[in-house]
Structures are given as C-alpha cells and as structure tokens.
Amino acid sequence: MDFDFELLLVSLTAASGAIWALHRVFFAKAVTADIQSGKEAASEPVVVEYARSLFPVFFIVLLLRSFVAEPYEIPSGSMKPTLLVGDFIVVSKFSYGVRLPVIDTKLFDVDSPQRGDVMVFRYPRDNETNYIKRVVGLPGDHILYMNKMLYINNEPVSQETQAEVAGQCGGYKAIERVENLPGVAHRIYVCPQAPDRAYEFTVPEGQFLALGDNRDNSNDGRYWGYVPERNLVGRAKMIWFSSDASKGWFSGERIRWGRIGTSIK
C-alpha cells in the first residue's frame, strides 16, 4: 500500500489554516478587550506562528500537486527501456481531467488517454497502489497479443528489431524493438525464451488496456484486466532526475545525466 501523501498534505493544510483562522478570530476579540481595559495585548503562541507561516506553503504545494503535476520514482523495470529503475518523473495531473484531492471527484474533463500514452493509475485490484504502464487499448478496441506482437482491431502493429540487450531476461538476451502504435513509435523489450501465450480483449466503455514496455517482465492488463477511468492519475511527461543505485555516488556513473530533462514517449 502506498503512503497517502495527498491525505497528509490536505490534513496539514486544513489544520494549519484552522489554527490560524481560529486564532485570528479569538485573538482579535482579546486585543479589542485588552485595548478597552488598557492591558498590553498578548503575543501569538508559537503554534500559531508556525501555522501562519506554513499554511501558505502547504496550500500552494497542495494546489500544484493535486491539479498541476506530481513527482514519482520508478521502482521496477516493467517499463524498460522507456523508463529505468531510479528514474524520477513528472506526471501531469490535469491531462485526464481535474479532480479534487483525496475524494477524487472529477470537476471537469480535459482530455482522455490516447493510444501510446504512458500513464499513471491506481491498480484496479486495490485502488491504492500507483502503477505506470502504456495505453494500448481504448474503449471499444479489440486487442490481441500473440507471438509477442499486438493486433489492434485485427490490424498488426509493426515492430522493427533494433538490437540484442544483455542482462534483461535472466541469463539470456532481450530483443529491443521499436513498436509502431498508431501515432506513437516507442521501444520495447521482448524475451524470446519466455513462454508465449495469446491474450485477447475487447475493451469495455470507460476503461483502458495498459501494458508494460518490458513485455515479458510486466504485471499488466494481460493478467488483471482493464483500468477504469476513475482510476486514472495522470500522464507521464518528463524525466527530471535519474539515479542508478547500483553505482557508487563517487563513481561518476551514479547520475544518468543523459536522461535528465528528456520527454517520455
């Protein structure tokens, strides 16, 4: 279960705002009474000073994180070679509609996922854990995955082999390919030695089919089904930092400088 930072941020914003507001109301009354009686007004308690100082900070961060963009760290290799473990990404929160934080009620639509989008969503089996995968099936699409290839509405999605990559399929090499989804060309890994099973779907209305780019090492819609529209979090836009934890900080290779600032396609 993911830590609910959004709930914590809402709670801190509400608590600091309430403390500040209540103090202003009662402090104003106390100051008025002191002035009338000729007494010196009492200074603000420390907790009120902190609340007054931190409320704008919490509020601005809440607005940005809930309605504009949110950072995420990639924890697994299911989206290789597009995203690597240790990539830190920016996710656009308004791409698929503006929602209220915590209760997740949609205020209005902006756009809907398009085929090829790399999207973040809440795992449909627990509605809490954040997953990231690529959209391959839109509502109404007939999708077939067979012989490590996609077929969308009975049309094959072409692939172009690029290279063999060591260390991605246990003791075997992975094959890197460019998959040409309609409108989006992106890289994938396939493991020739991995068992091949046929998966067939007709995507229901209001739902989406999402797969990992590391096709033989991804827990995705082939195994647990569709992503409901209500589970959408946002679209992955950019890598803002990348770190390889297997390298030492002083090795000169820990930070993947070439990935920083790159768009996610």
Of 236, 132, 137, 130, nearest to 182 by C-alpha is: 137
Quote the percentage of the chain above a pLDDT of 90.
57
Residue 1 has pLDDT above 50, yes or no: no
Residue 209 has pLDDT above 70, yes or no: yes
Catalytic residues: 78, 133
Task: Tally Cβ neighbours within 10 Å of residue 144.
Answer: 16
Q: How confident is the model at residue 26 (pLDDT cuts 50, 70, 90)?
A: confident
| Average pLDDT of the residues in 32-46 | 58
Phi, psi dihedral angles at 160 (to 5 degrees): -125, 120
Interval 109-154: pLDDT, tens? 778 999 999 999 999 999 889 999 999 999 999 999 999 999 999 9
Q: What pLDDT is recorded for position 172?
A: 87
Q: Which residue has better confidence, 55 or 118?
A: 118
Interval 68-115: pLDDT, tens? 888 899 999 999 999 999 999 999 988 898 887 777 777 777 789 999
